[in-house]
Amino acid sequence: MPVVWSPTTRDHDPQHEVWVGVATIGTEVAARVDAILAGVTEAGHPLVDATARPDDVLARVHDPSMLTFLADAAERWRQGPYADLVGQTRVVPYLFPTPAMTAGLPARRAVAVHAEAGSYAYDTMTVVGPGTWEAARAAVDCALGAVDLVLAGEGAAYALCRPPGHHATPAGFGGSCYLNNAAVAAEALRAGGHDRVAVIDIDAHQGNGTAAIFYDRADVLYGSVHVDPGAGWFPHVVGYAEETGTGAGEGATRNVPLPEGTGDALWLEAVAGLADWVAAEGCSALVVSLGVDAAADDPESPLLVTVDGYRGAGAILGRVGLPAVVVQEGGYHLPTLGGLVAAYLDGHGS
Ligand code: SP5
Ligand code: ZN
């Protein structure tokens, strides 16, 4: 399976993620790109360099004000006093103008970048620094490159997207995600002539961004298997089974939350359920949000999927028989990351 990648995806260096108010060492690191490259190269998959793509599809997925904020935030921060005053070189939100704060008042946009950040960032873990925008935009180019290969007749193509994307909503970023690569891929497949596209998300966390982007639409299905947010896991407030879509999109969303400690058998059963659903719904193309953080060794989730489990998931989704764009999402255990991705691609087949 061709692997579309870009060296620019290494340029995002979050250094720390602020979790419960403490700067902890981030797990969404540039070395992930090299771990995955090593795994897929070893398995014999050919590398394809991503090329710069226009913004039109991206602009259908995200609010223009968030795109402008992300493109400019690192430089605005650099011009501010933050590094000198407190040693902070990354954009970290300081307040969140949720309804709890604005409470019906006619709130304006914050002028200071440290305050405006909370209008788009919905957590403190997803920091913006020099290179973040360029890396996130390059990841979108990887997704679009993989779509073009599939539109040109490849049975499947893999986009080595980093940073990941499935937690990025129309106007929000969080969960280590800035731009929703999988949603861009789905929109690009739609624009390329596929009338109904399915996104199946096997990252350990529910892809609340992708779910939100397509929640009221019938033309893009979203199905996710993930650790139960009700057991206290990210994204915490959404990802429950009763969320099935709204309006024209009623029935076009499926969430399959699984208990902590779930291993291959139950996880693969859930993946197979989503595959059967997509096969029955008349989709002509598939996007797979391939997070490998459901693996047992992963530091960010309590699921216990094995490398054979990921190979099995690839086989199940490959058997659906649709042209497929496989988009990288999470997966943080560097020693096993490349092998997990390669196992999925091996199972999926060309
Ligand atoms: C794309 C993806 O997999 N995003 C993961 C989002 C879940 N992150 C939640 C992080 C919770 C805090 N992690 C503790 C580790 C401290 N460094
Ligand atoms: Zn994840």
Which of 172, 208, 186, 175 shows the shortest CA–CA distance to 70? 172
d(CA 115, CA 150): 42
The minimum-distance atom of ligand 1 relative to the CA of 166 is 1
pTM over 0.95: yes
Residue nearest to atom 12 of ligand 1 (CA): 19
The string of pLDDT tens digits covering residues 255-285 is 999 999 999 999 999 999 999 999 999 999 9
Coil/strand/helix, residue 184: helix
| Bridge-based pairing state of the strands 16-19 and 22-25 | antiparallel
Asked if the model's pLDDT at residue 230 lies above 90, the reply is: yes
The minimum-distance atom of ligand 1 relative to the CA of 299 is 15
Counting ligands in written order, the one closest to the CA of 177 is: 1
With a 6 A CB cut-off, is 300 part of the ligand 1 pocket?
Answer: yes
Just list the catalytic residues: 167
With a 6 A CB cut-off, is 254 part of the ligand 1 pocket?
Answer: no
Give me the mean pLDDT over the 19-35 stretch: 97
> Which residues hold their Cβ within 5 A of ligand 2, which is an ion?
203-205, 291, 293, 330
DSSP string, 97-144: --HHHHTTS-PPPPSSHHHHGGGTB-SSSS-B-TTHHHHHHHHHHHHH
d(CA 178, CA 163): 7
Residue 177 phi, psi dihedral angles, 5° rounding: -120, 145
The string of pLDDT tens digits covering residues 294-313 is 999 999 999 999 999 999 99
The string of pLDDT tens digits covering residues 38-47 is 999 999 999 9
Q: Which residues of 121-132 are buried (b: 16+ CB within 10 A; e: fewer)?
A: bbbbbbbbbebb
Asked if the model's pLDDT at residue 350 lies above 90, the reply is: no
